[in-house]
Amino acid sequence: MAASTPNNQSFVLSAPAALFDSDTLMTDAAIAVIDGAIQACDQRLKILAQFPALPEVHVASCVLTPGLVNAHTHLELSFLAGKIPGPADFPAWVLQLIAAYPSAADAEEVFSQSALAGAQESIQFGVTTVGDITRQHHIVRPALQSKSPLGVVSFGELTALGRSRAYLDARLAAAMEPQESDGRISIGLSPHAPYSVEGPALEKIVAIAGKYRMPLSMHLAELREERDFLKDFSGPLGKSWMLMRHMDLLDDLVPAFSAGPIRWAQHYGLFNAGVPVILAHVNYADDTELSILADSGAAVAYCPRTRHYFGHDAVAPHPWQAMQQRGIRVCLATDSLASNPDLSLLREAKFLHRNDPSINPQILWRMITTHPAAALGLGSQIGRLAPGYAANILALPVANEMLTSCAAVCDYLVRQAPLPQRVWIRGKQVFSACSAT
Ligand SMILES: [Zn+2]
């Protein structure tokens, strides 16, 4: 057996068990990887007989799983880890975040290092693909492309409100660059939020995303205050917000909308582009709004620890279970290190499960694998271990007596949130706990 993964990304990976997806566990399993893609998954002896020329890499005391998928994060904000103590008031938090931004002279260094640190932390927690929201795309994309193996859907974040609408075309063009990619980093668009993008600008962004087949991601219904802002620009996000006063963007041409952010997004066509749409947070939605979301086909990225940090849990529970019952695809995500202690998806699942042990751990497992993969438009490429999928694979330590069923393995992983022993992306080993210590 080879001691380490061969460099050509073609090998047989075997372990005491593999959790191919939330409903498929195989003991004494192996995965044949050729040129970074999964060729076959089966019993170890069958795979070894089928691929006799491939070297075998065996990991003991581990279960092989697909790499985890984080549908919503902001890697470039990793430099803010621990700098803004919670619980935080959102408008004040934004001001603190802006105050902590680096000077223009330091921006390239800070944001590139920050994105790379976030990417590395993600990988160490077993996350192999992220939906990354970025305003610093001209810095972050080249850094991730050249210095990180992480899979990224890079959503260029856009604002266009009132007097800043004149910049939208230039911002859109920049957010879409570069359009060529090696497939590891792909480009999406992120209209930021209802209080920073006016309706007609949203319409325009959606049209461009549809034309160029780019996924969309938007912070929506994150805050109760979005409703008042849209209605008459009042409330903590409105004219009285120090940031709004300072920027002086609002003018008479910004259309008001009285029926809340979800109908606002529907009205301006967010769900009509024919591309994947991820809505970040959706902390507040009533029954009718949930029906609108169910009909829309949009996915929701629920960030439990960030939500807790901002104090929303004290107001009302997140409607994620009602969403799932209506067929809305809900993912667990971390948001950024400016509002979350780390970028671990398993710890998000653990946090939820600890607060409500009746939650089925297999559902939580789907919310960090197959659901976010599909939400990003990558459901046929990542999120499960199957032929034709990218060889994004984790070796997670697990005791042999846990390897009795999918339910038992998922329960163990969600309760323990173990750190990976090893991580492969596209068949290349990108992390080993042995070499990290
Ligand atoms: Zn966010």
Q: Beta strand 37-43 with 24-34: parallel, antiparallel or unpaired?
A: antiparallel
With CA atoms as reference, report the closest residue to 16 among 60, 81, 77, 72: 60
Distance 303 CA to ligand 1 centre (A): 9
Angle at 433 between CA 427 and CA 437, to 5 degrees: 140
Distance 245 CA to ligand 1 centre (A): 23
State whether the Cα torsion 425-408-307-191 is positive or negative: positive
Check residue 315 and give its pLDDT.
87
Distance 335 CA to ligand 1 centre (A): 5
pLDDT band per the 50, 70, 90 thresholds, residue 192: very high
3-state class (DSSP) for residue 348? helix
Task: Read off the tokens for 234.
Answer: 């009042």
Task: Read off the tokens for 371.
Answer: 């659901």
Task: Read off the tokens for 105.
Answer: 């002279």
pLDDT at 302 over 70: yes
What mean pLDDT comes out for the span 145-155? 96
Check residue 436 and give its pLDDT.
62
3-state class (DSSP) for residue 185? strand
Distance 421 CA to ligand 1 centre (A): 29
**Tens digits of residue pLDDT in 101-142:** 999 999 999 999 999 999 999 999 999 999 999 999 999 999
Check residue 339 and give its pLDDT.
93
* SS (HEC) of 194-248: CCCECHHHHHHHHHHHHHHCCCEEEEECCCCCHHHHHHHCCCCCCCCCHHHHHHC
Distance 72 CA to ligand 1 centre (A): 6
Check residue 338 and give its pLDDT.
93
Angle at 123 between CA 281 and CA 318, to 5 degrees: 20
Whole-angstrom Cα distance, residue 399 to residue 61?
6
What mean pLDDT comes out for the span 35-54? 98
Distance 293 CA to ligand 1 centre (A): 19
Q: Report the 10 Å Cβ neighbour count for 289.
A: 19
Q: What percent of the chain has pLDDT over 70?
A: 97
Residue 178: is the preceding peptide bond cis (ω within 30°)? yes
Q: What percent of the chain has pLDDT over 90?
A: 91
Whole-angstrom Cα distance, residue 225 to residue 211?
32
pLDDT band per the 50, 70, 90 thresholds, residue 183: confident
Distance 166 CA to ligand 1 centre (A): 24
Whole-angstrom Cα distance, residue 116 to residue 340?
17
- Helix (H) or strand (E) holding 406, with range, is helix 406-416
Dihedrals phi, psi of 88, to nearest 5 degrees: -115, 145
With CA atoms as reference, report the closest residue to 363 among 351, 349, 374: 349
Check residue 257 and give its pLDDT.
98
Check residue 179 and give its pLDDT.
64
pLDDT at 184 over 80: yes
**Tens digits of residue pLDDT in 376-401:** 999 999 999 999 999 999 999 999 99
Residues in the chain: 437
pLDDT at 45 over 70: yes
Are the CB atoms for 61 and 418 separated by under 8 Å? no
Going across the sheet that includes 330-332, the strands are 68-73, 127-134, 151-158, 185-191, 216-220, 277-281, 299-302, 330-332
Distance 31 CA to ligand 1 centre (A): 35
Are the CB atoms for 129 and 67 separated by under 8 Å? yes
Are the CB atoms for 153 and 130 separated by under 8 Å? yes
pLDDT at 287 over 80: yes
Q: Report the 10 Å Cβ neighbour count for 302.
A: 25
Distance 301 CA to ligand 1 centre (A): 9
Domains of the chain with bracketed CATH: 11-67+384-436 (2.30.40.10), 68-375 (3.20.20.140)
Distance 73 CA to ligand 1 centre (A): 6
Tell which wins on pLDDT, 180 or 67.
Answer: 67
3-state class (DSSP) for residue 414? helix
Dihedrals phi, psi of 288, to nearest 5 degrees: -65, -40
Check residue 197 and give its pLDDT.
98
Check residue 1 and give its pLDDT.
40
Distance 52 CA to ligand 1 centre (A): 47
Check residue 3 and give its pLDDT.
43
**Tens digits of residue pLDDT in 58-97:** 999 999 999 999 999 999 999 999 998 876 789 999 999 9
Tell which wins on pLDDT, 1 or 121.
Answer: 121
Mean pLDDT taken over the chain:
95
Whole-angstrom Cα distance, residue 359 to residue 411?
10
Task: Read off the tokens for 137.
Answer: 């795309």
pLDDT band per the 50, 70, 90 thresholds, residue 437: very low
What mean pLDDT comes out for the span 164-186? 89
Distance 306 CA to ligand 1 centre (A): 9
State whether the Cα torsion 296-301-303-306 is positive or negative: negative
Distance 381 CA to ligand 1 centre (A): 24
For ion ligand 1, residues whose CB falls within 5 Å: 280, 335
Are the CB atoms for 259 and 268 separated by under 8 Å? no
**Tens digits of residue pLDDT in 8-31:** 689 999 999 999 999 999 999 999
Check residue 178 and give its pLDDT.
81
Residue 28 burial (C-beta neighbours within 10 Å; 0-12, 13-18, 19+): middle
Contacts 24+ apart (CB under 8 A), 87-91: 87/309, 87/310, 87/311, 88/309, 88/310, 88/311, 88/339, 89/311, 90/222, 90/223, 90/225, 90/236, 90/310, 91/225, 91/236, 91/237, 91/241, 91/242, 91/243
Check residue 109 and give its pLDDT.
97
